[in-house]
Structure 1
Amino acid sequence: MGKIPPALRTAPFPVSNLLKKSPSVAVGSGTPTQPPPRDRHFPRKVSKKKSAPSTARDPKPPTVPFNIPSHSDAKALADSITAESAAAFYLKYHNSHLQSFSAVSSLDDSISHLREMIKNNPTFSPDRSTYHVLLIQSCKFPDSTLNNVRKVLCLMAAAGFPPDKVTTDVAVRSLCNAGCLDLALELFKEFCLKHSPPDSYTYNFLLKHLCKDRPVSVVNNFIKEMRDCFGIKPDLVAYTILIDNVCNKKNLREATRLLELLSEDGFKPDRYVYNIIMKGYCMLSQGSEVLWVYKKMKEGGVEPDLVTYNTLIFGLSKSGRVKEARKYLNVMAEMGHFPDEVTYTSLMNGMCREGNALGALQLLEEMEAQGCSPNSCTYNTLLHGLCKAKLLGRAMELYGVMKSGDMKLETGTYGTLLRALCRNGKVAEAYEVFDYAVESKSLKDFAAYSTLESTLKWLKKAKEQGLAV
């Protein structure tokens, strides 16, 4: 309980009538509250007018597909299109032609084919982008010595296109996409030594891959080497990548150190950097540190945004400081950031953690009164909390609302609801919940079966020990 996914599907169903019942409703007593008609809650689909097709003045270069990498067939096809289409005079056509051929041929055949194209088409003058087609091909299956890559680079230099920043970027990205990070790193350093230093886009791209696949020590050594040997320093984007990486690994001490280095290098942390660090402390349920980052952000003259306040409220609620978190509802509203479904769901999550599931239901009524529609995550949080608080009657009413809205059950909520039903001897209802979880594709079939099976085994054992009815 408590996960807030980045993408939240809205599914508005007012359930404030659940609050009108007595807290001591017996399990299974009463009929589930039926939600209002669906057409009152689901907006009509907005018809999108089809835009008229755009008319281009220039002919679109045709794509030349090759099923068999035959040199003679490729030449014959190219000659026929050249004779019949004005597009043959466009560079894009020739590049598309070469790209199609390179997709099904060896690098040597592609180089030979390019030479044939130059020889037989006087109007064709290849540029750097043409040779980049060959460079990308050479990076798909490189050997440990990068012979094919160097062959293309030499070919480019002989044609008057020595490696530049764009060439470096193409080679590094292609090697990384092929899963050859070490070779990309080797070529990157070689370009730094022999040619002009790569730009920040290539540097940050490589840094992001290093953060993903290598330990922090290797990343730090790379940064130090680039700084000491080539004078390449990380920029604000690079520091953001680094801080995000260590925060995801729950290494907040390193994140704090990077924040200091960022300032020493003359950069001012923006709200995105602060939000990332706040998120890291939320993962550790350290509400005091989340609040410390928020205050540091304000002291630095950086204005918080909606994400900042949502992260702050989530962090405080998760660490058991719900009352303090609620105070920031008014603060964020005063700053022009009105609470949304993420804000309220975070508070409900904290209240359910404290065992105040009925208070979370009251907050749901307040949420709807403010015109904010609850979503699937909101309902899953409440359903989980009601089951934990042993308010199964309310939980089943809420489940009925979710089922009417075709909302999916989260894995934790599904398991908790099954156990609550079985604990109270409602095995038939547990099977019905299982059927809905499978039909709505809330879980994979295997996961749904496994949870049901383990729950029934637990029930059998609990009955033997007299812990369940």
Structure 2
Amino acid sequence: MNRSLSSSKQSQLLLLRLLEPQTPTVPSYSLLRHLCTKPNPPPPPSPQDEDSLITKAVQLLQAPENENSGSTQLHQLLFSSSSPSSPGLFRKIARRLDSSSQALKFFDYIKSNAPSQDLHSLSSTFQAIFELASCEPDSQEKLLELYRTSKERNVPITINGVTLLVQCLGRAGMVAEVLSVVHALDSLYPSLKNTHFCNVVIDVLFRLEYADYAHNVVDEMLQPNAECPPNHITGDIVFSVLLRRKWPRGTFDEIVWLVSKFGECDRAWDVLHHVMKSGGAVETASCNALLTGLVRDEDFERMNKLTTEMIQMDIQPNVFLEKMKGGSEGVSVEPDVIIYNTLIDGLCKVGRQEEGLSLMEQMRSNKCVPNTVTYNCLIDGHGRINSAVEFFNEMQSNGLKGSAVTYTTLIKAFCNVNNIDKAMEFFNQTLKVGCTPDAIVYYTLISGLSLAGRMDDASCVVSKLKEAGFCLDTVSYNNLVSGFCKKNKLDRAYEMLKEMEQAGVKPDSVTYNILISYLSKTGNFTIAHTVMRKMVKEGIVPTVVTYGALIHAYCLNNKIDEAMKIFRDLSSASEVAPNTVIYNILIDSLCKNNDVELALSLMHDMKLVAVRPNITTYNAMFKGLRKKNLLEKAFELMDRMVEQACNPDYITMEVLTEWLSEVGETGKLKNFVEGYEVSASSG
């Protein structure tokens, strides 16, 4: 009964037809039926086959040693021609064993019996032994022994194994051993080093009060074309060290150095004000370095505040800022319209429109005439759109015509507050006054209308854009496809995709991500995976957004096992690394389904792969831990938040206040709020 087929289903079939390339030998209708009715061939081997093999292998390895048949069965299981093989199989088996000693015996068995000894496979298996040993008593001694064993048996060690070793030795305070391992890696395997390893090294050395050596490592990371360049975690570690000190070493040369190298204005701001409150001496060079960073970030609010504080401490701002302030004695160059506009724009962006207005009056008094850009800054910065319109009218009364930028700003402002009628009014006014809209005006309006769900109006603007001789770009097509998908008009989304194809505009990763997200959220996972395969076939690599859309949709549809399977595939096989958002989606879903243990395991994984949890991660975990009243785990996470300078929000405080009050642990909460360690306190 074809007439009973829903329009949504018809649209999905059309989408499949569009996305699948046509060939002369296969009629499109037959190909469409093939896609819709025939299941995809299962990939060899299936994950279940591998899981069964691993389980059986672990059972044989842990069986009593007097079972003579066990060794034969194990050899046939792992090395026969019919045995499935996949990257990391031996590592996965080793990870499932009960102890590092068992895993080491398994490694020796593999080394002796494998038909061909793959160094990479042996190294990854040896890493699994490191991972097991790191969780056992006397882990530092066991890891050191394993490290020596790897060198004796000529097995290249992985960087993850060395990282675990350094972390464990650092916790035990074994600084000489840490330095020995680092030096050995530099001389034997310098190409193995990566940014995560260097971050672990500097963190350990700072904690062990070997700051000079830690600074040397940071200096190496900051060299031009360094193989291990610093990232935001590097900056977090170094600035956290400064914040932990009662008195930073020597002068504030460190702050100058860190601001110039990392551009970490937020952290530098915290350090500087921490010292001010402690009564420490603050020097001009440090303040000027921070001011330079604030100007670069256009953070005029804090720039002005710091300038005031410097004057109060009798520290004068540098000549550049004096010139920007305008009119000061000793400044030979008067500020011009560009400098004024820069300041006005910065003030308006941080909500200080009144000061921006005052500065415009100062412009006039200094015979520096405001131009269209000046008014555009004020219009763009005014949170009240009515005031922006007043400036626009004043601008016109002063004989200045609105430019495409002016109209784009106003149209965008009204689109942002979903006042589409007013946005369309200014668009029509643009045409009436003879100010020919450029493509940006059309694109802005199409984007705003699509985001607001006004797809009929968006289609009307598309028609006018074409009449004006412009063409839609990829971003506009994506906005339209997204808008139609959100309105559940997949047939119109299909039309846009077909038009893209005819116009020679190729879909990009955003296009595919929009389709995959929509299809997944509506439960059409089969078609979503088909689209993803087409994406790969077109040479477009799925991004973390692609995988995140699928994982999020599976979680929304309460298919957490499927979500976890995609996550594991992503972690083990894909070149795309899971980010904080993906971890948060899974952790939140697992906690809501009372699988708190697996959620904690994911948080441990985040630490191993250097993905930084945020307040959303911690809030989800605290809610899950509260359900099971796992107080000790909550205390550990509270300490981790303090250590990482992750500030609690109102959700954190609401959950912890209610929970800890119920169990009589308000003292722990007080310590947490004040930034002290919780697990070590008496409560």
TM-score range, shorter chain: 0.5 to 0.7
More moved, 304-313 vs 177-186 = 177-186
Residues of 1 paired with 2:586 and 2:529: CA distance?
17
Q: CA deviation at 1:279?
A: 4.1
Residues of 1 paired with 2:525 and 2:493: CA distance?
14
Residue 101 (1) aligns with residue 326 (2): yes
Residues of 1 paired with 2:341 and 2:597: CA distance?
65
Residues of 1 paired with 2:441 and 2:322: CA distance?
37
Contact 1:418–1:452 (Cα < 8 Å) also in 2: yes
Match of 2:542 among 321, 335, 339: 339
- 1:341 is matched by which residue type in structure 2? V
Q: How is 1:257-336 mapped onto 2 (pairs within 5 angstroms)?
A: 257-280=460-483, 293-336=496-539
- Deviation per CA, 1:345-368, whole angstroms, max 9, x where unpaired? 221122222222222222233323
Residues of 1 paired with 2:362 and 2:326: CA distance?
18
SS at match of 1:366: helix
Contact 1:169–1:198 (Cα < 8 Å) also in 2: no
SS at match of 2:371: helix
Q: Provide the residue aligned with 1:222 in structure 2.
A: 426
Contact 2:341–2:373 (Cα < 8 Å) also in 1: no
Q: CA deviation at 1:303?
A: 0.8
- 1:181 is matched by which residue type in structure 2? A
Contact 2:591–2:599 (Cα < 8 Å) also in 1: yes
Q: CA deviation at 1:100?
A: 4.6
Structure with the largest fraction of helix: 2
Residue 364 (1) aligns with residue 364 (2): no
Residues of 2 paired with 1:138 and 1:343: CA distance?
40
- 1:101 is matched by which residue type in structure 2? G
Q: CA deviation at 1:294?
A: 3.7
- Deviation per CA, 1:49-69, whole angstroms, max 9, x where unpaired? 469xxxxxxxxxxxxxxx9xx
Q: CA deviation at 1:276?
A: 2.4
Structure 2, unpaired ranges of 5+: 1-46, 56-96, 100-127, 133-159, 165-191, 199-219, 226-306, 308-318, 346-352, 664-683
Q: Provide the residue aligned with 1:208 in structure 2.
A: 412
Contact 1:408–1:442 (Cα < 8 Å) also in 2: no
Residues of 2 paired with 1:448 and 1:97: CA distance?
43
Q: CA deviation at 1:218?
A: 2.2
More moved, 331-340 vs 294-303 = 294-303
Residue 423 (1) aligns with residue 648 (2): no
Residues of 2 paired with 1:442 and 1:135: CA distance?
36
Q: How is 1:64-75 mapped onto 2 (pairs within 5 angstroms)?
A: none
Contact 1:287–1:321 (Cα < 8 Å) also in 2: no
Q: 1:329 to 1:50 in 2, by over 3 A?
A: closer
Residues of 2 paired with 1:42 and 1:389: CA distance?
39
Residues of 2 paired with 1:248 and 1:335: CA distance?
28
SS at match of 1:447: helix
Q: Provide the residue aligned with 1:83 in structure 2.
A: none
- 1:328 is matched by which residue type in structure 2? V
Q: Provide the residue aligned with 1:169 in structure 2.
A: 373
- 1:375 is matched by which residue type in structure 2? N
Residues of 1 paired with 2:344 and 2:581: CA distance?
47
Q: Provide the residue aligned with 1:4 in structure 2.
A: none
Residues of 1 paired with 2:526 and 2:658: CA distance?
37
Residues of 2 paired with 1:397 and 1:147: CA distance?
57
Q: Provide the residue aligned with 1:181 in structure 2.
A: 388
Q: 1:49 to 1:411 in 2, by over 3 A?
A: closer
- Deviation per CA, 1:321-354, whole angstroms, max 9, x where unpaired? 2221111222111222111222112211222222
Residues of 1 paired with 2:640 and 2:98: CA distance?
19
Q: Provide the residue aligned with 2:443 in structure 1.
A: 240
Q: 1:260 to 1:39 in 2, by over 3 A?
A: farther
Contact 1:223–1:233 (Cα < 8 Å) also in 2: no
Q: CA deviation at 1:272?
A: 0.5
- 1:343 is matched by which residue type in structure 2? T
Q: CA deviation at 1:249?
A: 3.7
Q: CA deviation at 1:185?
A: 0.8
- 2:500 is matched by which residue type in structure 1? M
Q: CA deviation at 1:413?
A: 4.8
Residue 391 (1) aligns with residue 595 (2): yes
Q: CA deviation at 1:448?
A: 1.3
Q: 1:249 to 1:452 in 2, by over 3 A?
A: farther
Residues of 1 paired with 2:661 and 2:486: CA distance?
33
Q: 1:427 to 1:444 in 2, by over 3 A?
A: closer
Residues of 2 paired with 1:216 and 1:392: CA distance?
45
Q: CA deviation at 1:181?
A: 1.6
Q: How is 1:434-453 mapped onto 2 (pairs within 5 angstroms)?
A: 434-442=638-646, 444-453=648-657
- Deviation per CA, 1:114-140, whole angstroms, max 9, x where unpaired? 9xx9xxxxxx9x9xx956768899997
- How many residues matched? 365
Q: CA deviation at 1:251?
A: 4.0
Contact 1:135–1:149 (Cα < 8 Å) also in 2: no
Q: CA deviation at 1:286?
A: 7.3
Q: CA deviation at 1:273?
A: 0.8
Residues of 2 paired with 1:135 and 1:302: CA distance?
38
Q: Provide the residue aligned with 2:458 in structure 1.
A: 255
What is the RMSD of the two structures over their aligned residues, measured on CA atoms?
Answer: 4.9
Residues of 2 paired with 1:420 and 1:150: CA distance?
58
Residues of 1 paired with 2:596 and 2:323: CA distance?
66
Residues of 2 paired with 1:363 and 1:436: CA distance?
28
- Deviation per CA, 1:6-34, whole angstroms, max 9, x where unpaired? xxxxxxxxxx9x97899xxxxxxx99995
More moved, 400-409 vs 356-365 = 400-409
Residues of 1 paired with 2:490 and 2:619: CA distance?
28
SS at match of 2:632: helix
Q: 1:38 to 1:408 in 2, by over 3 A?
A: farther
- Deviation per CA, 1:409-452, whole angstroms, max 9, x where unpaired? 45555444334333344343344344434543555254312133
Contact 2:519–2:528 (Cα < 8 Å) also in 1: yes
Contact 1:172–1:206 (Cα < 8 Å) also in 2: no
Contact 1:243–1:273 (Cα < 8 Å) also in 2: yes
Q: CA deviation at 1:314?
A: 2.0
TM-score in terms of structure 2 length: 0.44
Q: CA deviation at 1:270?
A: 1.0
Residues of 2 paired with 1:364 and 1:251: CA distance?
36
Residues of 2 paired with 1:431 and 1:187: CA distance?
59
Residues of 2 paired with 1:220 and 1:212: CA distance?
13
- 2:526 is matched by which residue type in structure 1? K
Contact 1:408–1:441 (Cα < 8 Å) also in 2: no
SS at match of 2:546: helix
Q: Percent identity?
A: 21
Contact 2:446–2:461 (Cα < 8 Å) also in 1: yes
Contact 1:287–1:316 (Cα < 8 Å) also in 2: no
Q: 1:239 to 1:450 in 2, by over 3 A?
A: same
TM-score in terms of structure 1 length: 0.60
Contact 1:281–1:289 (Cα < 8 Å) also in 2: yes
SS at match of 1:186: helix
Q: CA deviation at 1:271?
A: 0.8
Q: 1:184 to 1:370 in 2, by over 3 A?
A: same
